Chains A and B, each alone.
Chain A
Amino acid sequence: MRRIPMLTMLIMIIILTSLSACAAQDAKVNPYFVPHLPRPLAHERAVITSAGQGVEGLVISKIASQLNIKNRFWRKVRGKDLSDRYDGLIILLGLSHQNLERLKTNTTEERQRLEALAKGAKELGTAVVMINVGKLSRHSETDNMAQLLAPYTDYIIVVGEGNYDGFFSQLAFHEDIPLTIVNDLQKIKTPLNSVFR
């Protein structure tokens, strides 16, 4: 009779150990998920730009204004344009080939601009926030730009289903960047506000 409870306990121990191991693995994969930043990265003004010239930059600029975050939406801001006036740089991932063409630029020039901009921000000590207001699938060029910016990024916010393949989780894990994932655009206000307040 004693053997049965012991055997049962043994099985339960094995199951619980397996479950805790799995949970630990999850924690290892996503140790940087945060609902918002615990303390602000910037205080004054932000420059907002699009990586790929999509309309996302303008949308986030409007949301930032609603949050009383002083900001300037600057389509083609370059590293040399940054100064002490701006202590935050928000880069929106969003590729629009038609807008790139309309603004007489291309993906190669855009990548060069972004790299120089991120480097310039780092040199000035400006906080860099990368935001993706994603959709079901991402363009490979958007992923390239995200990987290019990741080493200079201080915080990543992903909206919607942009992290459907765990791309941003992996990026945050490898580059040691805090990551917040929100369900829809309206819920970005809390993590965005936490960057400045």
Chain B
Amino acid sequence: MNDFITDKEKIVQGLFIALLSVLIQQVLKTPFWQVYVKIEESIILEDSGTLILAAAVLVVLNSAKALPIFVGAFRATEGLKKTGGIGATLLAALMVIVFYSIIYGLQPGQWNWGVPLVVFLFGIILLLVWGRGVLKSWHKIIIFSQLLMGSYWLAITPGLTFIGFGQDETSSSIKLVAQYLEADSALNFFSFAFFAPMLIIAIITMGLIDNYSKIIKHINAGKEQEKQMRKVRVAAAQARVLEELNALVHDLKTPLTTIQGLNSLLGMTGSSDKRREYAEKVEASVDNMNGMISEILYEDIRKPIKVASLINYVRAQIIPENLNQKFYFQIQEDLPELNVNKVRLARALVNVIENAIRATENKPDGEISITAQEKGTSIIFTVKDSGIGISEDDIERIWEPGFSLNLSSGLGLTFVRKVIENHGGEIDISSEFGKGTKVIMSLPRGQVEE
């Protein structure tokens, strides 16, 4: 059964909509009586105009009564796997037969399948074949309104009585009075004059809806293409920036080498101990700076560092936006050393903390907590803030290069994830809009403790 049904909810919705016809039948009872009043008025006044008006009112009321049946039946077909297939046609036919029988069977009086059959066949052609059974509900309402308003004129066409159209009491009465008023030809003409244009309008409307659907599809495809292009452009820009940055940082090494060379010469030529001591300190600083530059340039460079040292290195780079922002650091004692690219990992942590700072800058009680603890084989870094949070729609896009909530480059979190993943770790972000955001970064101990 599940091979045929893909969406039970739509089938239930279809049944519910079709059931509305029973309710509408009760609501329209009094207007139907008014049709009889109009028919009797046309007899008394011997006025065929009043009779045609009564016929028009009857067409509208019959259409209103039948509309939920067809809309419901064709809505239910959307719940099937193949929306435009034979199964859908059979389901729609079954629902139309059942609900017509319920409505007209409960209501005494005779009727026949002429009009429902005409509407059903055109419904199949227009909605299931042409529209591939996936039109929106309001499209169905428009198409079926037009088909019903046209087809119910056939029930009051005296010229079609011989093939069984319009056997119900009210339609028969209208045709009888037309015979009395010798207005059969007029009623034939008016019925056809309404049926044919309404049918043509339904076909034109279907064409317009089809074109509209195609245009929307093209627009969406264009948007998707543009989105992909933007991603590619951002990635290219990111690559270019990194390439230029690498070149720039690499160029820093040239003057450093000069400083280092001249400093060693200075240390060798000088006789003063003090000068030699300073020259050694300059030498150490240059080595340090050289190492940092190497870490920036080469991702794979790893050095052992204590977690507390790493956090202190990060703290030194944090600048709060306002004095009300409170920072809490909780670092578990005796954490094992990490073997990481200190500069890059610290930059990643600073990026995350800067995001938290921006999220809490306009909150009077803004709090940011940074914790580091050992869990199993991993060291977990958590940055939690009580800031503005991220909406559900935005949280799915935060990893996209170029996406930003604060008019920045939109490359920050992409960089963070890249650094964490390069260290064999994982990053997860959860957020509640208006309440805050939590970023959990885990680095596997086994891999970092080389």
| Residues 8-38 (chain B) with a chain A CB within 8 angstroms | 29, 32-33, 36
Question: For chain B, what secondary structure do more than half of its interface residues adopt (helix, strand, loop), or is it mixed?
Answer: helix
Tell me the complex Cα distance, A118–B302, Å: 114
| B residues near A97, Cβ cutoff 8 Å | 107-109, 169
| B residues near A135, Cβ cutoff 8 Å | 161, 167, 172, 176
Closest chain A residue to B32 by CB distance? Answer: A98
Instruction: Tell whether, in the assembled complex, residue B173 and residue A58 are in contact, meaning their CB atoms are under 8 Å apart.
Output: no
| B residues near A88, Cβ cutoff 8 Å | none
Tell me the complex Cα distance, A59–B51, Å: 13
Instruction: Tell whether, in the assembled complex, residue B110 and residue A59 are in contact, meaning their CB atoms are under 8 Å apart.
Output: no
Cβ of B164 within 8 Å of any chain A Cβ, yes or no, is yes
Instruction: Tell whether, in the assembled complex, residue A55 and residue B39 are in contact, meaning their CB atoms are under 8 Å apart.
Output: yes
Instruction: Tell whether, in the assembled complex, residue B43 and residue A98 are in contact, meaning their CB atoms are under 8 Å apart.
Output: no
**A 178-189 binary contact with B (CB < 8 Å = 1; else 0):** 000000111000
Cβ of A154 within 8 Å of any chain B Cβ, yes or no, is no
- How far, in Å, is B128 (CB) from chain A's closest CB? 32
- How far, in Å, is B172 (CB) from chain A's closest CB? 5
| Residues 165-196 (chain B) with a chain A CB within 8 angstroms | 167, 169-170, 172-173, 176-177, 179-180, 182
Closest chain B residue to A56 by CB distance? Answer: B176
| Residues 67-114 (chain A) with a chain B CB within 8 angstroms | 94-99, 101-102
Cβ of B40 within 8 Å of any chain A Cβ, yes or no, is yes
**In the complex with contacts A96-B36, A96-B169, A136-B161, A59-B176 CB distance below 8 A:** yes
Cβ of B44 within 8 Å of any chain A Cβ, yes or no, is yes
Instruction: Tell whether, in the assembled complex, residue A63 and residue B167 are in contact, meaning their CB atoms are under 8 Å apart.
Output: no
Cβ of A43 within 8 Å of any chain B Cβ, yes or no, is no
Cβ of A191 within 8 Å of any chain B Cβ, yes or no, is no
| Interface bracket on B | 20 to 34
| B residues near A174, Cβ cutoff 8 Å | none
**A 40-64 binary contact with B (CB < 8 Å = 1; else 0):** 0000000000000011101100110
Cβ of B46 within 8 Å of any chain A Cβ, yes or no, is yes
Instruction: Tell whether, in the assembled complex, residue B173 and residue A96 are in contact, meaning their CB atoms are under 8 Å apart.
Output: yes
**In the complex with contacts A96-B36, A98-B33, A98-B169, A55-B176 CB distance below 8 A:** yes
Cβ of A139 within 8 Å of any chain B Cβ, yes or no, is yes
| B residues near A55, Cβ cutoff 8 Å | 36, 39-40, 43, 173, 176-177
> Which residue of the partner chain, among B33, B108, B110, B164, contacts A102 with CB atoms under 8 Å?
B33
- How far, in Å, is B104 (CB) from chain A's closest CB? 11
Instruction: Tell whether, in the assembled complex, residue B173 and residue A54 are in contact, meaning their CB atoms are under 8 Å apart.
Output: yes
Tell me the complex Cα distance, A133–B43, Å: 15
| B residues near A62, Cβ cutoff 8 Å | 43-44, 46, 180
> Which residue of the partner chain, among A63, A98, A185, A186, contacts B36 with CB atoms under 8 Å?
A98
| B residues near A133, Cβ cutoff 8 Å | 176
| B residues near A137, Cβ cutoff 8 Å | 110, 167
Instruction: Tell whether, in the assembled complex, residue B44 and residue A185 are in contact, meaning their CB atoms are under 8 Å apart.
Output: no
Instruction: Tell whether, in the assembled complex, residue B167 and residue A136 are in contact, meaning their CB atoms are under 8 Å apart.
Output: yes
Tell me the complex Cα distance, A137–B109, Å: 11
- How far, in Å, is A134 (CB) from chain B's closest CB? 9
**B 274-305 binary contact with A (CB < 8 Å = 1; else 0):** 00000000000000000000000000000000
| A residues near B44, Cβ cutoff 8 Å | 58, 62
> Which residue of the partner chain, among B40, B162, B182, contacts A58 with CB atoms under 8 Å?
B40
| B residues near A139, Cβ cutoff 8 Å | 109-110
- How far, in Å, is A187 (CB) from chain B's closest CB? 11
Task: Jot down 5 A-B pairs with beta carbons below 8 A, ordered by A.
Answer: A58-B40, A58-B43, A96-B109, A139-B109, A185-B179
Nearest 9 A/B pairs, CB to CB:
A102-B33, A97-B108, A185-B179, A55-B173, A59-B180, A96-B169, A58-B43, A135-B172, A97-B109
Given pairs A59-B43, A96-B170, 11 additional interface contacts (CB within 8 A): A55-B176, A55-B177, A58-B43, A58-B44, A94-B173, A96-B169, A97-B108, A97-B109, A98-B109, A101-B29, A135-B172
